[in-house]
Amino acid sequence: MISLVNLILELANYIGIIAFAISGSMKGIKKGMDLLGVLVLGFSTALGGGITADILLGIKPPTNLVYLPYPLTALLASFLTFLFYKMFTNVGKPLLYADAIGLGAFTASGASLAYSIDPSPLLVIMIGTITAVGGGVIRDMLSNEVPVILTREFYATAVIIGSGIYFLLRYEGESNYYDIIISFLITTVLRIIAMKLKWELPKVTNT
Amino acid sequence: MISLVNLILELANYIGIIAFAISGSMKGIKKGMDLLGVLVLGFSTALGGGITADILLGIKPPTNLVYLPYPLTALLASFLTFLFYKMFTNVGKPLLYADAIGLGAFTASGASLAYSIDPSPLLVIMIGTITAVGGGVIRDMLSNEVPVILTREFYATAVIIGSGIYFLLRYEGESNYYDIIISFLITTVLRIIAMKLKWELPKVTNT
Amino acid sequence: MISLVNLILELANYIGIIAFAISGSMKGIKKGMDLLGVLVLGFSTALGGGITADILLGIKPPTNLVYLPYPLTALLASFLTFLFYKMFTNVGKPLLYADAIGLGAFTASGASLAYSIDPSPLLVIMIGTITAVGGGVIRDMLSNEVPVILTREFYATAVIIGSGIYFLLRYEGESNYYDIIISFLITTVLRIIAMKLKWELPKVTNT
């Protein structure tokens, strides 16, 4: 059972890396970047959140820079996006689901890593969130734009809820594997429902 | 005496966190961000400088992510700014004084922390400065603007002077508590005088 | 022989710090920044890449914040650029060569440092690259621009090749000193050839 959970999470992780790398490299192409810029944006979007989380937690060097399968997957996905850009413009909808799966997997793995280092509720939520959405923030900042997660959609909020639920379950003494899988599923499902129903957070109007 | 100094500094710290959080969340509101973006900007402006300083000094996880009173204060101040935005637009002037108090407190605590880890003059000045103004730089970068401290006003310069004076006093063997309070007062008073007299640093003209 | 290699590298390092500091401070002047902003941009461009590399490798506090000759050189070069800005606008071409020399020196020293901490190929290439081009990325982000290395010219690519060659030579058991000098020369020469021949990386057209 544990190995099945591991397998599902690992698979979800790779789906996330690929979806995030495609999103980053497409942004780079739209911004008129060259091949290097496209690879950097794909890599940063897929792995920059995890690298930032590792820096905050004091894990050095960051796992995403020394464990090769993750970065190679991100770079390969970015390179293929560069080569076959026009084909990728037609996969918007499936890509959003892949992105939601990756979002859940990144949230659960980030929250779990933070808990193992310091079981502080704020740290677990922050690191879960940064792991999942930090890459997108880096992508937007390198593209000279206000990070999209700060302005609209119910995206980071799903991650915050998923990380918080992870903390509560783990704190209550659940097995770590169930905590992870539940946090992963809740984040992903919340994100998909939010897309379907076009949920938005409130804004201050008339400013 | 020592406990009174501690009390004053701790109070000044909270004043700074609240003033910085309000400044960050108001920027987020002006940029059209949603509730999450406003909370992120308030949090980052208030605590991002200290987090960056902790990363540079190797303090992990950063204090601002595990010691709860600071982040909760920042998030609460940001949330209240979001709720009562219109009322906050009328507190510009008192806010500038609160900001100057926080600037001094952040400078003194950052410089003192750096000195305790490595008594290098450059490090003490850099960490004092990053602790005090780093949050504002993050706020402006997330808002897709050139950091305001780089372009005008005598703001970071007050912090650099305050950090340098801290180093000199501590190096000369003063009690750490007096060093801190003097550095705090000089930074805050310099900033207030600079506001009153509209001090500016020189620029290259005719470019 | 080893001391001669050391001398050459150290000289190349200072050439790089000065060239990078001038490039950063000139950007600050063009953006209308005041003296402080110009110093911050010069400092960040010259030393920000090395500081980022140290954070990723867990070297704390970062060498560039405690070993004084490097930051003092960067700040002095930036200050002189501020004072004599008009004279510096006429040194564009020699500056490009100095920049190429610094690029090679930063690449070799970053790659060598990373190898000594963890001999992973990806880490060596990443850290070599970040050491050499990270400062320029910080300069552009503080200037609210898309980092120029992401959009055009054969610049970071020379660094990636130079870092990769360092890894291969060191992995094959060469003396560390020859590895460093060869990696330095290849990076610098590649960059100069790329300037002369106006090499560009491919882009996706018709987007």
pLDDT in tens, C128-142: 999 999 999 999 999
pLDDT of residue C206: 55
pLDDT of residue B1: 62
- Please tell me the distance in Å from C123's CA to the nearest CA on chain A: 5
Q: Bigger pLDDT: C207 or C92?
A: C92
pLDDT of residue B149: 94
pLDDT in tens, C65-115: 999 999 999 999 999 999 999 887 777 788 899 999 999 999 999 999 999
* Neighboring chain C residues of B121 at a CB cutoff of 8 Å: 68
pLDDT of residue B13: 93
- Specify the pTM: 0.94
- Residue A8 located in a structural domain: yes
Partner-chain residue, chosen from B152, B156, B204, that has the shortest CB–CB distance to C85: B204
- Residue C203 located in a structural domain: no
Measured CB to CB, residues of chain A less than 8 Å from chain B are 55-58, 114, 117-118, 120-123, 126, 137, 141, 144-147, 149-152, 156-157, 160, 200-204, 207
Average pLDDT score, chain A: 93
Burial of B96 (0-12, 13-18, 19+ CB in 10 A): middle
- Residue A25 located in a structural domain: yes
- Mean pLDDT across the stretch A11-17? 94
- Residue C204 located in a structural domain: no
pLDDT in tens, C13-46: 999 999 999 999 999 999 999 999 999 999 999 9
Spatial separation of the C-alpha atoms in residues B99 and B20, rounded to whole Å? 6
Spatial separation of the C-alpha atoms in residues B103 and B105, rounded to whole Å? 6
Partner-chain residue, chosen from B56, B141, B203, that has the shortest CB–CB distance to C61: B56
Spatial separation of the C-alpha atoms in residues B154 and B157, rounded to whole Å? 6
pLDDT in tens, A109-128: 999 999 999 999 999 999 99
pLDDT of residue B206: 56
Spatial separation of the C-alpha atoms in residues C151 and C203, rounded to whole Å? 9
Q: Is the pLDDT of residue C144 over 80?
A: yes
Cis before A61 (ω within 30): yes
Measured CB to CB, residues of chain C less than 8 Å from chain A are 55-58, 114, 117-118, 120-123, 126-127, 137, 141, 144-147, 149-152, 156-157, 160, 200-204, 207
- Mean pLDDT across the stretch A187-201? 94
- Residue C137 located in a structural domain: yes
Which chains touch C (3+ CB pairs under 8 A)? Answer: A, B
When divided into structural domains, chain A yields a total of: 1
pLDDT of residue B111: 97
Minimum Cα–Cα distance from A58: chain B residue = B60
Residue ranges making up the domain that contains A162: 4-197
pLDDT category at A183 given cuts 50, 70, 90 is very high
Spatial separation of the C-alpha atoms in residues B167 and C85, rounded to whole Å? 32
- Please tell me the distance in Å from B25's CA to the nearest CA on chain C: 20
If you count residue pairs, one on A and one on C, with CB atoms under 8 Å apart, how many are there? 81
pLDDT of residue C67: 93
Partner-chain residue, chosen from A34, A60, A68, that has the shortest CB–CB distance to C56: A60
- Residue B205 located in a structural domain: no
pLDDT in tens, A93-110: 888 999 999 999 999 999
- Residue C206 located in a structural domain: no
pLDDT of residue B177: 83
Which chains touch B (3+ CB pairs under 8 A)? Answer: A, C
pLDDT in tens, B117-162: 999 999 999 999 999 999 999 999 999 999 999 998 899 999 999 9
Provide CB contacts within 8 A for B185, sequence distance 6+: B104
| Distance of alpha carbon B88 from the chain centroid | 20
For residue B171, give Cα distances in angstroms to A83, B127, B168, B177, C66. Answer: 59, 16, 5, 13, 16
pLDDT in tens, A134-182: 999 999 999 999 999 999 889 999 999 999 999 999 998 867 788 999 9
The residue type of A179 is: D
pLDDT in tens, B81-123: 999 998 877 777 888 999 999 999 999 999 999 999 999 999 9
ipTM: 0.93
CB contact under 8 A, C31 and B204: no
